[in-house]
Structures are given as structure tokens and as C-alpha cells.
């Protein structure tokens, strides 16, 4: 496995790989890798001749009061993780390498899709995500790029950006990987205290109850959400940022679903300072 930290070297590698006819799968990450990322790598390995994992904690997607400095980092551990999974290249540039000494002035803004859910709490977050992902696509020119379904809003925005800008890359969605008790794998789980960790599976349980209610034919979405919100808020350690139901295309809130409409129940909840997200798509 090769470790590359400059854009120039990364582009040179890609040129050689392309000349040899090898297909490239990209797994973009911010590091502190876990088995959720491992599932993306495994899928990329199946589909492509070369797998490149980018590890870059992207400052553009953190707000001024968010956890950029606190974000967990472990590059040597991540490199081992990638090497054990047969990754060909880890691309781990510094912030100056990615954005220059005076920072980048360009941003990519995908309208509408980024305004609700996680975008409401962190304006500019998805501009930062879209900008770095577009930049990685330009540098690496992968045939395919792999994203987790847990961040379904990010996935929708990246898909839309790729379509709108005709970027020739297939976006592959991979199912959320979970702990045995149902908690979605996330680098942020590392922040949870043992007490918070015990409570965290209740987020998934709330989504499963919504799914069950939906399967029983309940369609009074505001009442369903209010009931689950009250249950979550009864736990003093939880602060619900959002618990909502949106349509799966434009991510707009749904109160009265149309017959046959596919929707996503999604939540973001703070446990102390740690914000966890999860979602469940119902057809």
C-alpha cells in the first residue's frame, strides 16, 4: 500500500493506473476508520482494480463552534486498517496541500437539499462536503465512489452534484453498519461516555418503532413523530436536534404522504456534546 500526501503525486499515480486500464474506486473519509468504512472499502475492492482511500479532516465542513480540533484522528491506525483491507493507496493531504496557504475561495452549493436536517443546524456544512468531494473527484477521477447510507443527506447531495455537474463517477451507496445493539457505527461514537453509550441504541429503536407504525398503515406523520420525540426527550441526556420524515428525492418534510411515496425517517440527537445521526428509509 502506498501513502500519498500531495495532489501532484496523487495525479501522477492516477495517470499511470488509467494508462494500464485499471478502474479506480474511491472511498472518501475523514479517518478514524471503523468497520463502517471497512464495508465501503470491501465493496470498492469488489468493484474495482484499484482502491484509493482519502483521509482528510475537511475544515470547510465544520462550523466555527464545531468539533474540528476535537475530531478524533489516528493516521497510523488508519493506515494499518487500510493495509489490512487490501487498499492500494491512502491519500492523506494536509489542509495547506488541499486548499493552499491562503485557503480556497471556491465553494460548491447544492441548493434545497442541504437546507434541512443536518444543514439547518450547520449552515455551510454541505457546501464544505460538496466542495471537498468535487475536489477529490477531480484529483482522483474514480469510476466509482462509495458513501454510507447513514449520511443519507450527504449521499443525496453528492449524487445531485455529480448529476448536475456531469461528473463521470458512479456514486455507490452502502448500507449502514451497526454495532450489535443497533447503534450506527460512527467515528463520533468514540466521544460517548459509557453511560451515553448505553443509551445511544434508543435512537435506532425510535426509528424502528416509526417503521413499525408505518408498516401497520399509520400515516399521521406529525403525531407519530411527536410521540417518538416525547419518548426521546423523556431521557434527560438526550437533546433532539431533529426527528423528521422527509421525501427521499428532495428531502422536504412530509406531513401527509402520498400513496406509495417512499420516505425517510431521520434524526439527529445530542448526547452531551456528541451529535449522533441515523435514518431509516421506508418504501
Per-residue cell: 176:
449502514
Question: Residue 128: enclosing H or E segment and its boundaries?
Answer: helix 125-140
Q: Count CB neighbours of 170 within 10 A.
A: 13
Based on CB atoms, which residue is closest to ligand PAF, 61 or 149? 61
Residue in 242, 180, 179 with CA at minimum distance from that of residue 206: 242
Q: To the nearest whole angstrom, how small is the minimum distance from the Cβ of residue 129 to ligand PAF?
A: 5
Based on CB atoms, which residue is closest to ligand PAF, 127 or 228? 127
Out of 133, 169, 203, 268, the only residue in the binding site for ligand PAF (CB under 6 A) is 133
Candidate segments 27-35, 87-95, 200-208, 227-235, binder of ligand PAF by CB under 6 A:
27-35
Q: Exactly one of 8, 34, 37, 109 is catalytic; name it.
A: 37
Out of 10, 13, 28, 32, the only residue in the binding site for ligand PAF (CB under 6 A) is 28
Does 37 qualify as catalytic in the annotation?
Answer: yes
* Per-residue x/- track, 144-173, ligand PAF (CB under 6 A): -------x--x-------------------
Give the strand order in the sheet containing 170-174: 2-4, 89-91, 50-55, 24-29, 144-148, 170-174
- Contact between 52 and ligand PAF by CB under 6 A: the answer reads no
| Continuous H helices in 20-124 | 35-47, 75-84, 95-99, 118-121
Candidate segments 5-13, 127-135, 174-182, 188-196, binder of ligand PAF by CB under 6 A:
127-135
Out of 29, 131, 156, 186, the only residue in the binding site for ligand PAF (CB under 6 A) is 29
Based on CB atoms, which residue is closest to ligand PAF, 151 or 278? 151
Query: What is the Cα–Cα distance from 250 to 246, expressed in whole angstroms?
Result: 8
Out of 117, 132, 171, 206, the only residue in the binding site for ligand PAF (CB under 6 A) is 132
Task: Find residue 269's DSSP bridge partners.
Answer: 240, 276
Phi, psi of 270 (to 5 degrees): -85, 135
For every residue of 22-38, DSSP letters joined together read: --EEEEEE-SS--HHHH
Q: Count CB neighbours of 226 within 10 A.
A: 12
Q: To the nearest whole angstrom, how small is the minimum distance from the Cβ of residue 48 to ligand PAF?
A: 18
Out of 58, 122, 153, 176, the only residue in the binding site for ligand PAF (CB under 6 A) is 58
Q: To the nearest whole angstrom, how small is the minimum distance from the Cβ of residue 133 to ligand PAF?
A: 6
- Residues 10 and 140 sit within 8 Å (Cβ to Cβ): yes
Q: To the nearest whole angstrom, how small is the minimum distance from the Cβ of residue 2 to ligand PAF?
A: 20
Based on CB atoms, which residue is closest to ligand PAF, 128 or 192? 128
For every residue of 190-256, DSSP letters joined together read: GG--HHHHHHTHHHHHHHHHHHHHHHTT---HHHHHHHHHHHHHTSTTEEEEEEEEEETTT--B-SS
Based on CB atoms, which residue is closest to ligand PAF, 14 or 57? 57
Based on CB atoms, which residue is closest to ligand PAF, 108 or 271? 108
Provide the binding-site residues for ligand PAF, judged by CB under 6 A.
28-30, 58, 61, 129, 132-133, 151, 154
Amino acid at each position: 500500500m502506498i501513502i500519498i500526501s500531495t495532489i501532484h503525486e496523487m495525479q501522477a499515480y492516477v495517470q499511470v493506473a488509467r494508462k494500464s486500464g485499471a478502474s479506480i474506486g474511491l472511498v472518501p473519509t475523514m479517518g478514524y476508520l471503523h468497520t463502517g468504512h471497512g464495508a465501503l472499502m470491501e465493496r470498492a475492492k469488489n468493484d474495482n482494480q484499484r482502491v484509493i482511500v482519502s483521509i482528510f479532516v475537511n475544515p470547510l465542513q465544520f462550523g466555527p463552534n464545531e468539533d474540528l480540533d476535537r475530531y478524533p484522528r489516528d493516521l497510523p491506525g488508519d493506515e494499518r486498517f487500510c493495509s489490512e483491507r487490501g487498499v492500494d493507496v491512502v491519500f492523506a493531504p494536509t489542509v495547506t496541500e488541499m486548499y493552499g496557504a491562503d485557503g480556497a475561495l471556491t465553494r460548491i452549493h447544492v441548493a434545497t437539499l442541504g437546507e434541512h436536517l443536518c444543514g439547518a443546524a450547520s449552515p455551510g456544512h454541505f457546501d464544505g462536503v460538496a466542495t471537498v468531494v468535487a475536489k477529490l473527484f477531480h484529483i482522483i477521477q474514480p469510476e466509482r465512489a462509495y458513501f454510507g447510507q447513514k449520511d443519507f443527506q450527504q449521499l443525496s447531495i453528492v449524487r445531485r452534484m455529480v448529476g448536475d455537474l456531469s461528473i463521470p463517477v458512479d456514486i455507490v451507496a452502502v448500507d449502514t453498519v451497526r454495532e450489535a445493539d443497533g447503534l450506527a457505527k460512527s467515528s463520533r461514537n468514540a466521544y460517548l461516555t459509557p453511560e451515553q453509550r448505553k443509551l445511544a441504541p434508543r435512537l435506532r429503536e425510535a426509528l424502528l418503532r416509526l417503521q413499525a407504525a408505518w408498516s401497520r398503515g399509520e400515516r399521521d406523520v406529525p403525531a407519530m413523530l411527536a410521540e417518538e420525540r416525547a419518548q426521546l426527550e423523556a431521557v434527560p441526556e438526550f437533546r433532539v436536534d431533529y426527528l423528521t420524515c422527509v421525501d427521499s428525492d428532495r428531502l422536504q418534510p412530509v406531513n401527509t404522504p402520498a400513496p406509495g411515496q417512499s420516505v425517510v425517517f431521520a434524526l439527529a440527537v445530542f448526547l452531551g456534546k456528541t451529535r449522533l445521526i441515523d435514518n431509516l428509509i421506508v418504501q
